[in-house]
């Protein structure tokens, strides 16, 4: 049976569904996963060459594109269920050749791909690339059923988006936790407190401002109308939203002291750990209890409204495609996560 899957991703909504399917499949087989994404050669364009000359740091972030956010979220999904996994990105004009090269390099025995994708920047991996991999691969290729007609199921599409947002949040929370560990190590390399500040900014700008309010307005409110037995659970989750914001404010205050004079770093680490534990528990409760209940109780009209609302969060969900600071944040997260495995 297969022991090592290569899972190519492109960041589309269908690709988000592919992560869920690949994780379930690998878990059933007790197999490893290597997640992979190809990125465009930004420097090969006229605008990219100009950006490289005028702003080398911005060029580096642009060259990474969405790759870091795509891979960080996939790793979160796999590690949440205890899977052995790794991730990497490569730059090139022929994604199918990169897929085959990485599969051979990493010793994979199965390529797990989607059959459909979107064209253009966010369709770099899927669609025609699947056909080319099928035509040229000497390894087995399993084509997952995430075609457009499947994705058009409103409930599934909305749940995929919500889970993808959870993965983005969890990736940032994990990055915070790694910094907390460094804060507590005697004689260890000092954590980058500016990086910690960036992670906290993302958590305030995305889940606090966008994700949590939309859960309450579009998902929780509809569930409460269908089943009064969920009221207590929903009230607890909404309280956790408020409490998470309060915890972030307390962490900000401790961070300000640590940045000013190096004081209270131990307290800062403890506060981050407490926050991270609470966020993981919160996300787990939503995915194990709320989303299955919603799938059972809500109708197509509800799901279309939920999908439309959450779809508007797209840029932040993938790491701020139009926000250079968020893109740089996810690049740094991946460098920290895999030790530079995304060249």
Q: CB neighbours of 280 closer than 8 A, spacing ≥ 6?
A: 170, 173
Is the pLDDT score of 58 beyond 70?
A: no
Is the pLDDT score of 168 beyond 70?
A: yes
| Region of poorest pLDDT, from 76-90, 93-107, 301-315 | 301-315
Cα gap 171→183, rounded to integer Å: 19
What's the confidence (pLDDT) of residue 48? Answer: 46
What's the confidence (pLDDT) of residue 56? Answer: 55
% of the chain beyond a pLDDT of 70: 79
By the 8 A CB rule, do 33 and 78 touch?
yes
Is the pLDDT score of 35 beyond 70?
A: yes
What's the confidence (pLDDT) of residue 297? Answer: 96
Domains and CATH numbers, the chain: 4-150 (3.40.50.620), 153-312 (1.20.120.520)
pLDDT tens digits, 194-217: 999 999 999 998 899 999 999 999
pLDDT tens digits, 250-260: 999 999 999 88
Is the pLDDT score of 30 beyond 50?
A: yes
Is the pLDDT score of 337 beyond 80?
A: no
What does pTM read for this prediction? 0.84
What's the confidence (pLDDT) of residue 333? Answer: 83
Cα gap 302→292, rounded to integer Å: 14
What's the confidence (pLDDT) of residue 329? Answer: 81
* Half-sphere exposure in the Cβ direction for 187 (13 Å, CA): 0
Cα gap 81→59, rounded to integer Å: 35
What's the confidence (pLDDT) of residue 139? Answer: 94
R_g over Cα of the chain: 20
Cα gap 278→56, rounded to integer Å: 38
């Amino acid at each position: 049976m297969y022991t090592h899957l290569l899972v190519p991703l492109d960041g589309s909504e269908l690709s988000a569904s592919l992560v869920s399917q690949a994780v379930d499949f690998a878990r059933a087989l007790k197999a490893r996963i290597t997640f992979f994404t190809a990125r465009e050669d930004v420097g090969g364009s006229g605008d990219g060459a100009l950006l490289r000359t005028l702003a080398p740091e911005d060029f580096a972030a642009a060259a990474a594109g969405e790759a870091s956010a795509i891979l960080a979220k996939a790793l979160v999904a796999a590690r949440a269920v205890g899977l052995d996994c790794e991730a990497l990105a490569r730059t090139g004009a022929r994604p199918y050749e990169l897929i085959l090269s990485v599969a051979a390099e990493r010793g994979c025995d199965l390529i797990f791909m989607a059959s459909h994708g979107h064209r253009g920047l966010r369709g770099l991996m899927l669609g025609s690339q699947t056909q080319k991999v099928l035509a040229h691969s000497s390894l087995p290729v399993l084509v997952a059923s995430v075609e457009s007609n499947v994705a058009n199921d409103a409930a599934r599409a909305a749940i995929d988006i919500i889970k993808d947002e959870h993965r983005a949040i969890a990736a940032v929370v994990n990055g915070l936790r790694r910094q907390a560990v460094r804060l507590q190590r005697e004689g260890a390399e000092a954590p980058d407190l500016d990086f910690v500040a960036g992670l906290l900014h993302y958590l305030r700008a995305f889940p606090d401002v966008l994700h949590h309010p939309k859960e309450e307005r579009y998902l929780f409110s509809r569930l409460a109308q269908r089943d009064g037995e969920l009221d207590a659970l929903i009230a607890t989750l909404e309280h956790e939203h408020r409490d998470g914001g309060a915890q972030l404010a307390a962490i900000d205050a401790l961070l300000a002291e640590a940045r000013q004079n190096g004081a209270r770093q131990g307290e800062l680490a403890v506060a981050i750990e407490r926050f991270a534990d609470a966020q993981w528990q919160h996300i787990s409760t939503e995915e194990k209890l709320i989303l299955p209940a919603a799938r059972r109780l809500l109708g197509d009209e509800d799901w279309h409204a939920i999908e439309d609302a959450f779809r508007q969060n797209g840029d932040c969900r993938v790491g701020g495609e139009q926000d250079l600071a968020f893109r740089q944040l996810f690049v740094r997260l991946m460098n920290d996560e895999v030790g530079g495995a995304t060249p």
